[in-house]
Structure formats: structure tokens, C-alpha cells
A = this chain, B = another copy of it.
Amino acid sequence: MIQKLTAHININVPFLKDKKLLIAISGGLDSVVLHHLLATLNFDISLAHCNFNLRGKESDLDEEFVNNLSQKTSNQIFIKSFNTEKYSKDNKLSTQIAARELRYTWFQELVEKHKFDYILTAHHADDNLETFLINLTRGTGLEGFTGIPKINGNIVRPLLPFSREEILKYAKENKIEWREDASNASTKYTRNKLRHQVIPVLKEINPSLLSSFEKTLENLQESQQILEDRIEEVSSEIIETKEAITKINIDKIQQLSNPKAYLYQLLKNHSFTEWNDVYDLLSAQSGKQVFSKTHRLLKDRDFLILSRKTDVNLDKVERSFNINKDELEIKNPIHLTFETVKQISTENKQTIYVDKDLLKYPLLVRKWQNGEYLYPTKMQGKKKLSKFFKDDKFSVLEKENTWLLCNADNEIIWVINHRQDRRFSTTSSTRKTLKITTL
């Protein structure tokens, strides 16, 4: 095994030599063997052990075990104890995901602080096959079938070409001791079923299963890469990104061979689950929207508009912002200045002039509501705000982002940046003119 590993390192990860390496060590068979192999090959290694405190005393015995191991081999060791259950509750994560986040965050901290070049983990070929089969039973896509990457940023997995059997054989031949792996109980149930009942039958069918599986993974990774090339290219043609807003051109996506498939690929990293609702947006009315845990996708005329939920004003009836009589300027939710002037100078969309005596304080800045009316300048009669928006071809986003300036009775003074209400305009009898400007 030493020879095979040396050859594998020389061919596939030669850059590990003479580098500062940090081995993630649980105390289980795989990581202990990885440590033994690299120590035997005289690599520059340190150890990092996470005590997740998920199995009571057993967790502490694991910690003690790896601590002793590091003393025997004189390798530097880092140990950290985590309150995994609290972290998983606080962040609404499964224990397994919580442990993974804690682990990798800490490893990267160690890398930064102690200038490690690479983090090594002991994943092997059987892990890859088990993960493949777990994803198969759950239902997945191509991304669930491409395996654990050999190299991912600064994380390297040198044992991926090896089977559990080879690792076990090496451990026995070298009289290596280890502790049983700690792992999430429900995953363990599934993994054990696959490990003991499914994979042995597959290996009966094809005794060189793992090596043909390795080739299969490579093929799928290559297909995934080609697919990503295509998505990158299509993105550049049909997506416009501006600040936190991503606009997908519906017309262009409809011209592709399989619009839904492309839409899935474009949005798959934004936590959507109701894909049929997402696909329906392509032909829905403007204003329809679908939410994921983190994002909103909004149909707006010719575009699907993706934005983070935090950037979206979900509630049309939000709180009002008060403006008192003596305030000369407000900055939130929108920047307004108030100035009493002698005469009216240039008017533009950013500036209005009102008869100050007609106002009732406190003025309010707020969002619009359905059913509200405006008495627009340069027009007789009143007009529904929704009709005004429609006639002026406001997009759904523009409507959402529009603020109203109102008086204390909630009458509209100004659709800010768009249209003044004539009820408060200056007239020939105006005595005090107030100039209001947005910046």
C-alpha cells in the first residue's frame, strides 16, 4: 500500500511534498491509517481533532486516543471541543451538517493561523460509492453522482483511490490500533445497510467494482464540467446582474432546447424546492413570485428577477416614517430635504413645491396600498395609484420600491420621484412655499 500511495501522490498530488500538512483525525480506522502512512513517508504533518461531544464518554476517549497517538509519533496536535447540539439547534441544522460546518470552519482557522498548506482527510473509494448510493436512494441529479473531489481548494483526499479493504489490511499488517468512527446515527443506519448488504452483492457481480466505479465518477465529473461550461455560456447570454438583482431573460431561455432544465441549473444554488412553481413562472402573469428559504424569484414582464429575501420588501404595508414640522432633512427610508423658499425655481422629478399651510404634520413616508387614489397634477379628477403605475409601465420591482410622501391624514402629497398630488400644490394664494427634494 505504501508503494501504491507513493505512486498515487507522485502522479496526482505531487505538490504535497515538502508542504505543511494538517491531517483531520477522528481516531477511526481511515484517519489513523492515513496518519501512519504519511508519517512513514516522512511528510511534514500535524493533526487536528474535533471533539463534537455527541457520544458522551466515547467522544472523550476518542480525544484521549488521538492525543496519545500524537505523543507517540511526536506530531503536533490541535484539539477543539464543540457544543455541536447547541450549534445545530441555534442554526437549525442537522447534527451532521452542523458538525461539518464546525469542523471545516475550525480547520480553515488553523490553516490561517499556523500557515498550513493543505488539509488532508481520509475519505476512500468505499465512502464515495456509499455516498453515491445514498444519493441514489434519496433521489438526486448529476451533482449527486460526481463523488467527493480528490482536491477541493486546500482540502486533499489522498486515500480516495483505496478501498476500505486495503486500508483495513494495511492496519492489520502494521498492527495499527484505532477507535470505531463516530458518526451520525441515522446516516450510520443507511451506510451500514449499503456497506454490508448492498455493496458486497455489487462486488460479487463485478469483483473490480471500485476501479470501474472510479472511472465512472471521472466520466460523470467530465460530463458535469461540460454542462457547467454550457451553463456559464448561457448565463452570459441570458442573465443580467446588477447589484443584488439578477434578471433572467424569459424570451431567450424559452428558445433553448429545454428551458426548464436550464432554469433549474441557473437557480439550483438558491435553495428552491418547489420547482414546478418555479417553472410555471415562465408563463405566469407579471407579479407572480416564488420564494425559497433564501431567495425570491419574481415574474416581471420579460424577466424572472432573482433577489435575496433580505433585499425584498415583503410587506407592502410597512411601517411609516414620521417627519416633524421642524425637520429639514431625513435619510431613512429615503433621503429628503425640506426648505422654505421665496420662489419656485426649476422643477424636476426630484423636486416638488408645496403649499406649506395645507400640510398636516407629522408627514409620513410609506409604501402604497391597493385601492389608494392620487390627484395628479396636470390632470383633472383622481386616478387609482395602481392604474397610474400601469399606465406609466412600472415594473413590479419599481412599484415595490416606490415611496409615498403623505400628510398626517394619509393623503398623498407626492409619489416620490414620479408625480406630485395637486391637492398640495402651490397656487396664486400660497403664502409659504416648501421645496422638497430627494437626493
Contacts and interface: CB of A to CB of B under 8 A. Distances in A.
Contacts of A229: 230, 256-257
A145 interface: yes
A252 interface: no
Interface stretch (A13-21, A48-56, A135-143, A337-345): A135-143
B137 A222 contact: no
Nearest to A205: B137
A257 B225 contact: yes
A324 interface: no
Interface string A137-156: 11111101100000000000
A215 interface: yes
A227 interface: yes
A184 interface: no
Contact of A223 (B142, B197, B202, B212): B142
Interface centre among A145, A194, A226, A260 (most CB of B within 10 A): A226
Given A193-B204, A226-B227, A230-B230, A220 B257 contact: no
A394 interface: no
Given A193-B201, A193-B205, A226-B265, A215 B139 contact: yes
Contacts of A220: 141-142, 145
B206 A201 contact: no
A233 B227 CA distance: 12
A279 to B, nearest CB: 12
Contacts of A231: 226
Contacts of A223: 141-142, 223-224, 227, 261
A231 B256 CA distance: 14
A105 interface: no
Interface in A187-226: 190, 193-194, 197-198, 201-202, 204-206, 209, 212-213, 215-216, 219-220, 222-226
A262 interface: yes
Contacts of A264: 219, 222
Interface string A235-246: 000000000000
Interface string A299-329: 0000000000000000000000000000000
Given A142-B223, A258-B226, A137 B209 contact: yes
Contacts of A261: 222-223, 225-226
Nearest to A202: B137
Interface centre among A220, A230, A260 (most CB of B within 10 A): A230
Nearest to A196: B201
Nearest to A222: B261
A195 to B, nearest CB: 11
A319 B133 CA distance: 58
A206 B138 contact: yes
Nearest to A208: B139
Interface string A117-129: 0000000000000
Contact of A212 (B137, B204, B215): B137
Contacts of A216: 136, 139-141, 144
A201 B204 contact: no
Interface centre among A198, A260, A264 (most CB of B within 10 A): A198
Contacts of A219: 140-142, 264
A232 to B, nearest CB: 9
11 contacts: A133-B202, A137-B212, A139-B212, A140-B216, A144-B216, A190-B205, A194-B201, A223-B261, A225-B257, A226-B265, A230-B230
Interface of A: 133, 136-142, 144-145, 190, 193-194, 197-198, 201-202, 204-206, 209, 212-213, 215-216, 219-220, 222-227, 229-231, 233, 256-258, 260-262, 264-265
5 shortest A-B CB distances, which residue pairs? A139-B212, A222-B261, A141-B219, A230-B230, A142-B223
